[in-house]
Amino acid sequence: MIHRQTSLKLLDFHPSFDDLGVEILAGLQRTPKTLPPKYFYDQRGSQLFDQITRLPEYYPTETEVTIMVDNLDEIIGLVGPQASLIEFGSGTSTKTHILLENLRELAAYVPVEISRDHLIDAAEHIAERYPDIEVLPVCADFTKPFGLPDPAVRPIKNVVFFPGSTIGNFSPDQAQELLDTMAQIAKKDGVLLIGVDLKKDKTILECAYNDSAQVTAAFNLNMLTRMNRELEADFDIDAFEHRAIYNEVQDRIEMHLVSLREQTVEVAGELLSFEDGEYILTECSHKYSLDDFAQLAEPAGFQVAKVWTDADQLFSVQYLLCKSA
């Protein structure tokens, strides 16, 4: 694989593509068929997701930004000076810039991202815009433990930043494992600053994931295009459609790729049969009450210290202290 050249010092734990291919094939051989959401984020998928965050129907981004801006002084005061900001999912978003522009004497910014090209683009953009901040990108699957770079300035505390309600993309068990990893990165007396989407009327949710411009549909279908390119698959993209529905029993949005006919597809040398109407589950987005999330985070050693929400209780930004040793 050709590695992008960058002037930044890149810590590269990029997973083996063979391992990812095995994971994808295993998911497609299950019933129902599944794909790992991290497979969304090749360079094209990352670009499409950036577009999604700016859609009028997609309330989480604008709501989260408003919450952060309205409570910025308190957030900055709680974080304090000389922190290392470690973002799970590299940041080109407004939320990242809000913190980089306002945190005092930041020791380092450490973006962590599985898509190497997207990571490098984001990190170079940040480094150019904020030349006084040491930018230390890490290419890794952040759902698994990874090592941290050593900043030139020793941080007083580690602040794990996980905006955008991405924690909801994991099942409760998977979210628990991710929170355990975050606690290892934050370390004792560190911090988790996280966006958590709240339970609400399903009409709002289904509109957010079925946008009129069909950017979310393109984002979802891009997974098939990526498999055709990288796994020698032969998906007919026009033979599948995007669907997002709210599962009220499990309090989650489900994104599906639905087969529009009976068909057979080859992926990595294996033949897979699809019935008409059969779907691949590509993403779940779980919604939480404030109490539900506090209980989820507690076993990892996190204690909720502060919660900020919007007036309509659509979304929350939460500040958690890491109490684990």
Domain map (residue ranges) of the chain: 59-201+292-322
d(CA 146, CA 10): 13
Residue with tokens 């999604």: 52
CA distances from 231 to 13, 18, 51 (A): 21, 10, 26
Predicted pLDDT at 2 = 37
Query: Quick check: 123 pLDDT over 60?
Result: yes
CATH number of 59-201+292-322: 3.40.50.150
Rg of the Cα trace of the chain? 20
In this structure, which long-range contacts are made by residues 170-175, counting pairs with CB atoms below 8 Å and at least 24 apart in sequence? 170/143, 170/284, 170/286, 171/284, 171/286, 172/286, 172/296, 174/143, 175/286, 175/296
Instruction: For the chain, give the percent of residues with pLDDT over 70.
Output: 96
At 169-200, the pLDDT tens digits run: 999 999 999 999 999 999 999 999 999 999 99
The pLDDT confidence band at residue 94, using thresholds 50, 70 and 90, is confident
| SS3 call for 133 | coil
Residue 206, both tokens: 């289904």
Rounded to whole angstroms, the Cα distance separating 300 from 293 reads 12
The pLDDT score that the predictor gives to residue 16 is 62
3-state secondary structure of 68: helix
- If we measure between CA atoms, which residue out of 165, 166, 151, 68 comes closest to residue 108? 151
Residue 57: which H helix or E strand, with range?
Answer: none
